[in-house]
Amino acid sequence: MMRRTAGLKPCATSAQEPCAASVKEPCAAPVAQPFEAVKEPCAAPVAQPFKAALTLLLLLTALSLQVRAQVGSDRLLNAAKEARNWLTYSGGYFSNRYSTLTQITPTNAKNLELKWMYQAAVAGAWQTTPLVVDGVMYFTQRPNDVVALDAKTGRVFWIYRHTLDPTQIVCCGANNRGLALLGDTLFMGTLDAHLVAIDAKTGRPVWNTKVADSAAGYSVTHAPLVVKDKVIVGVGGGEYGIRGFVAAYDARSGREAWRFNTIPAPGEPGGDSWKPCPPASSTFCDPDAWKHGGGSVWVTGSYDPALNMTYWGVGNAGPDWNNEQRPGDNLYTDSVVALDADTGRLRWHYQFTPHDRYDYDSVQIPVLADITWRGTPIKAMVWANRNGNFYVLERETGKFLVGKPFVKVNWMDTFDERGRPNQTPQPAGQPTWPGNQGGTNWYSPSFSPHTGLFYVPAWEGYATLFGGTPVEYQEGRNFGGGVNRSYVPVPGAPATPGIRRGPINNWTEAAATGAVLALDASTGEQKWKFPMTDVTDSGILTTAADVLFTGGREGYFQALDARTGSLLWKASLGAQIVSGPITYEVDGKQYVTAISGLSLCVFALRE
């Protein structure tokens, strides 16, 4: 019997090739023509006496499928319990990247093998996280395509291609990190700062809303977050002097429901953190710094249904490195903001790096965990920050509980009782740890309630020589305000590449190395470390069977024992892995994904 996959049937890649599935299922649009109806019937020739009955059956089946919602808000609320699927960017509202699937274990992980592969057409860092819903996989590919395919075989159903505004500007590559889903509608943010709704069964656009002006440097690169009937996104563009915000849009119409500005204006709460320029400043100072103060949001937030709060990490201030021209703490940059999910009203905030001069974006995933802290159960938020510190906050109030370095840190030395760091800027020409890319960055950590450990992809031994220079704001122009160099401890040796690397590793381990760090989620104490030769840009996935999956820039996809860090299995995929793995189940078999270069690779246990 043929397995049904969310109302879709695998279609040919051209209008001439016959479809492969049962004639009783509606056919998705062909890959080569994503917005046109299939012009030829998918069925084989049918005897005339049965044609009317078959037509009626097809019509009734199609209508019944059209009214059945794929993923309602109730399923999203319980996404973490629906282990066979992967319904949100981080696997559930708490953003743990943890699955209760247990078919792949520390004992049998050595038997993993490649089951199918999908090859993308556009070169560049492929950072997406797929969604999987009842046997159908959805993902984005560069620059702003959406692909639907069979999660068991890799057969493509349809491809949607968004046409970008040619004036769009992005700082760090044509990246898109994924999708959100509600009912039968997918949602994607775009490089030209639009939010697009797409029919999940046909690939046809439903609505398209302009979020911001892409010519001014605004973009939407992260996977949206659906909460109730709203789709929440933030805007990127901190390197272009944007004024950042998080906004919610009605899922049916695309109309904006609320907006929270991550850079407050004078007179608004937090506005006084953008101090006026001194009367007689010896260096350039911008009296309107808040108007182009940065505060981008480019990684997906989290949501606590019980508190009705959604949590978002906020990026660096603008300009990135010349902090002297923007006096004050510069809220809400380098902060986590807790917002009322219905209104967008600020409930609380915590700033990790006040008056940032290091480009320490705090856009890392807010991981929500119910843990025991000093003998008391608490609703916590655990966070490995780009600035090199691990944090535990009380997520109802934002109270600071723990701050502890997980890599070498010399930009600060202590915290006060409220969690404010005592900053220790290094002299000119001296290295600052961690460097510009941070002790970790946007790539997802994982929390396993089974082990009580928080797993972080980390850059160790990595430092930068920072230097700020004055820069005046011009719309659409880079607003970095500095020249920085990676610290090279071995004179004349190559430095560690920052965002991307070439095919040959020609730098020494003295410049930097990567690692997976397992930290006690209550204290930040390191329990084990899995070292890598190169630094890592890969996210982490853990399962209830105590298997951890991750990749790295060396091209290895590997399974570790989540309790000990020992290597269970690895595969050389040949290119950098710069996204997070997921796991799902179809027809009783557990699959796990990795994206290496232009290849989406899907593994399962050998038969």
**pLDDT tens by residue, 41-100:** 333 333 444 444 444 444 444 433 332 348 999 999 999 899 999 999 999 999 999 999
What's domain 69-120+127-496+507-605's superfamily in CATH? Quinoprotein alcohol dehydrogenase-like superfamily (2.140.10.10)
DSSP bridge pairs for 393: 381, 400
pLDDT higher than 70, residue 13? no
- Using the 8-state DSSP alphabet, how is residue 79 labeled? G
pLDDT higher than 60, residue 230? yes
Please report, as a single letter, which amino acid is at residue 13: T
Phi and psi angles of residue 271, each rounded to the nearest 5 degrees, phi first: -65, -30
Note the pLDDT tens digit of each residue in 359-391: 999 999 999 999 999 999 999 999 999 999 999
Domain layout of the chain by residue ranges? 1-68, 69-120+127-496+507-605
Q: Provide the CA 153 distance to its chain's centre, in angstroms.
A: 25
The answer to whether residues 375 and 354 touch, using CB atoms and an 8 Å cutoff, is no
Reduced to 3 states, what is the DSSP secondary structure of residue 434? Answer: coil
pLDDT higher than 90, residue 504? no
With cut-offs at 50, 70 and 90, classify the pLDDT of residue 503: confident
Q: Between the CA atoms of 309, 310, 315 and 317, what dihedral angle is there, to the nearest 10 degrees?
A: -40
- For the entire predicted model, the pTM comes to 0.89
Worst-scoring range by mean pLDDT, 171-180, 338-347, 490-499? Answer: 490-499
Q: Which of 269, 268, 329, 336 has its CA nearest to residue 299?
A: 336
In this prediction, residue 280 carries a pLDDT of: 81
Please confirm whether the linkage preceding 332 is cis (ω < 30° from 0): yes
**Which member of 359, 361, 534, 546 is catalytic?**
359
Distance CA 10, CA 46 (A): 20
Q: Which two tokens stand for residue 57?
A: 């059956």
Note the pLDDT tens digit of each residue in 91-111: 999 999 999 999 999 999 999
pLDDT higher than 60, residue 37? no
Note the pLDDT tens digit of each residue in 582-591: 999 999 999 9
Percent of the chain with pLDDT over 90: 80
Find the mean pLDDT for residues 559-578: 97
Top pLDDT among 503 and 44 is at 503
Find the mean pLDDT for residues 472-483: 92
Find the mean pLDDT for residues 297-305: 98
With cut-offs at 50, 70 and 90, classify the pLDDT of residue 206: very high
In this prediction, residue 312 carries a pLDDT of: 98
In this prediction, residue 343 carries a pLDDT of: 98
pLDDT higher than 60, residue 508? yes
Find the mean pLDDT for residues 568-591: 97
359 in active site:
yes
In this prediction, residue 268 carries a pLDDT of: 96
Note the pLDDT tens digit of each residue in 521-537: 999 999 999 999 999 99
The answer to whether residues 559 and 547 touch, using CB atoms and an 8 Å cutoff, is yes
pLDDT higher than 60, residue 131? yes
With cut-offs at 50, 70 and 90, classify the pLDDT of residue 490: confident
Top pLDDT among 53 and 293 is at 293
Note the pLDDT tens digit of each residue in 307-333: 999 999 999 999 999 999 999 999 999
Find the mean pLDDT for residues 430-456: 97
pLDDT higher than 60, residue 7? no
DSSP bridge pairs for 245: 261
Number of H helices, E strands in the chain: 2, 37
Distances (CA, A) of 480 to 143, 292, 314, 319, 466: 24, 12, 17, 5, 12
In this prediction, residue 509 carries a pLDDT of: 86
Average pLDDT, the chain: 89
Find the mean pLDDT for residues 111-136: 95
